[in-house]
Amino acid sequence: MRALAFPIAIVWLVFAIVVNAQTPKSKQKKKEDLPDVSLQIPDETRPEVKAIIKDNVIALSSSKQSDRIKAAHVLGELGEQGKPVRRLLCRAMLDNFTGVRVAAADALKNIDPKIQYLAVSYVSEKNEGGRGELLRKIEALKEDGEPLTPLVEKSAKTSAQAPQVGLLAQEITTLSAIAKNDPSIARLIRSALDNADSSVRYSALQALGGMKHGRLAISKIIKLIKNDNAENRIAGIRVLANLVDESTEEIVTDAITDQRYHEVEGVRKAVEEALNKIQNKRNP
């Protein structure tokens, strides 16, 4: 019997490791793993409300449809105190199950009717012109429209595959207005610099100039101003002058200077203005 004890113990240990590895990430999460700052929970929020928010944020990512529906209902009952989860509820409106989508929309209506109206309208609108009008309304909200980011992001990815270049260009502009500090959105917009349509590339250039993580696109923009059309070269040169810092000044200055004798006067003028701007940054 003793001879069998050790092998059996090993078998149980391996079984425990396998089961733990297969446990969904949502089950392994703890509410302590969700800092208040990541959910943008106000400091004055009561501890019991914070606990409700964190527990149900975890439940929103459960593998069980019933758990996700229940979590949305509970969060909706918080009313305005549930504002930190508006973005997560917008994401839940993209769930594969209708019941979850409806529960998320209902919860969002109790928390922020204006955002809910725009969210429902946007996911329901199939006409490109109608979606364009809604995008302009969302863009006008600027940072206040941030909760709607998952919906516009999903739409932008769909437009890129379709392709619907006119809609994609507008979605890029809207995303840069409502999620200018979001690194994942910056990556999405950066990828649009490779789009085959020049208007999409132009929108991406304009967007990156005002984004927190726009500097990560500098190398791509440098390649673009060497090969793109005149309008995009001008836009790229101007954006580079805005994004440049001490670590990139040399490579950016060289790239812009290479365009000094371009055949299009507008490009040459953009080069001169950009170089002056970089110099003024260096010697304010």
Is 137 part of a structural domain of the chain?
no
Could you give the count of Cα atoms lying within 13 Å of 68 in the half-sphere of its Cβ?
Answer: 24
Q: What is the pLDDT of residue 37?
A: 45
Q: What does pTM read for this prediction?
A: 0.84
Q: Examine the pLDDT at 1 and tell me if it is beyond 80.
A: no
Q: What is the pLDDT of residue 212?
A: 94
Percentage, residues of the chain above pLDDT 90: 79
Q: In whole angstroms, what is the distance from residue 26 CA to residue 34 CA?
A: 12
Q: Examine the pLDDT at 14 and tell me if it is beyond 90.
A: no
Is 52 part of a structural domain of the chain?
yes
Q: Examine the pLDDT at 16 and tell me if it is beyond 60.
A: no
Is 86 part of a structural domain of the chain?
yes
Residue range(s) defining the domain that contains residue 65: 34-123
> Is the backbone of residue 40 left (phi > 0), alpha (psi -120 to 50) or beta?
left
Q: In whole angstroms, what is the distance from residue 188 CA to residue 211 CA?
A: 12
Q: Examine the pLDDT at 32 and tell me if it is beyond 90.
A: no
Cα–Cα distances (Å) from 218 to 140, 169, 180, 214, 233, in that order, read 27, 20, 16, 7, 13
Is 1 part of a structural domain of the chain?
no
Is 168 part of a structural domain of the chain?
no
Q: How many domains does the chain have?
A: 1
DSSP code of residue 80: G
Q: What is the pLDDT of residue 21?
A: 44
Is 12 part of a structural domain of the chain?
no
Q: Examine the pLDDT at 167 and tell me if it is beyond 70.
A: yes
Q: What is the pLDDT of residue 43?
A: 86
CATH number, domain with residue 49: 1.25.10.10
Is 180 part of a structural domain of the chain?
no
Is 58 part of a structural domain of the chain?
yes
Q: 88 with 60: CB under 8 angstroms?
A: yes
